[in-house]
Chain A
Amino acid sequence: GAVVSQHPSWVICKSGTSVKIECRSLDFQATTMFWYRQFPKQSLMLMATSNEGSKATYEQGVEKDKFLINHASLTLSTLTVTSAHPEDSSFYICSRQGVRNEQFFGPGTRLTVL
């Protein structure tokens, strides 16, 4: 069964609004989770590492003020896309780490900004 869930699975919003995506670790207390975005037919691009109880670590080129990450508990990380614009439309995927550095991914969230 699934070990990571995401909600919502898809969302459509107007330009300028903010959207929150939840990622839950269902079987494991995850001190570290990851957020990726993926464009059609492309690989995953790591956006940030979410750390429970502390600030997220963002990859180079990712705006931390635009993509707000909160990891307030060991089973929940949230990604908020603030003031979304059409270019933010993408597939957002979260994951938690396994014991051998493998990752278990959520089902993804399709964001469409009109």
Chain B
Amino acid sequence: TQLLEQSPQFLSIQEGENLTVYCNSSSVFSSLQWYRQEPGEGPVLLVTVVTGGEVKKLKRLTFQFGDARKDSSLHITAAQPGDTGLYLCAGATGGGNKLTFGTGTQLKVEL
């Protein structure tokens, strides 16, 4: 069974702080996605990374895919209350169409 462990599990910070969320596995993934989910809604795709070592930026969010394609990180600069939510990484393997979801990181950004 493939597992994607995220850390930290919970994070509560003040507006303006920086943070990093980690997504680790012993399995190799062909691609990895990050999603954000708000209470009572479905997850929304933030980014897809495909190449080992790839870095993608989405405004204040920076995503990195590990060189070996086993891990990923999400860095948020100058966090805002609107960043509050559940962040989920998800990996795809080979030609399969199923995603393995990470354990999730609940982020709360307070004023």
Contact = CB atoms under 8 A, between A and B. Distances in A.
Interface in A56-114: 91, 93, 95, 97-98, 100-108, 110
B24 interface: no
A107 B92 CA distance: 22
Contacts of B64: none
B107 interface: no
A43 interface: yes
B44 A49 contact: no
A102 B33 CA distance: 7
Interface residues of B, number: 24
Given A103-B45, A105-B43, A108-B42, A44 B31 contact: no
Interface band, chain A: 20 to 34
Nearest to A103: B99
Given A32-B97, A44-B101, A102 B48 contact: yes
B44 to A, nearest CB: 7
Query: Secondary structure at chain A's binding surface: helix, strand, loop or mixed?
Result: strand
Contacts of A32: 97
A49 B98 CA distance: 8
Contact of A101 (B35, B41, B97, B101): B97
A22 B13 CA distance: 38
B98 A46 contact: yes
Given A6-B42, A45-B101, 16 more contacts: A34-B98, A41-B86, A43-B101, A46-B99, A46-B101, A49-B98, A91-B40, A97-B97, A101-B99, A102-B48, A104-B45, A105-B44, A106-B42, A107-B42, A108-B40, A108-B41
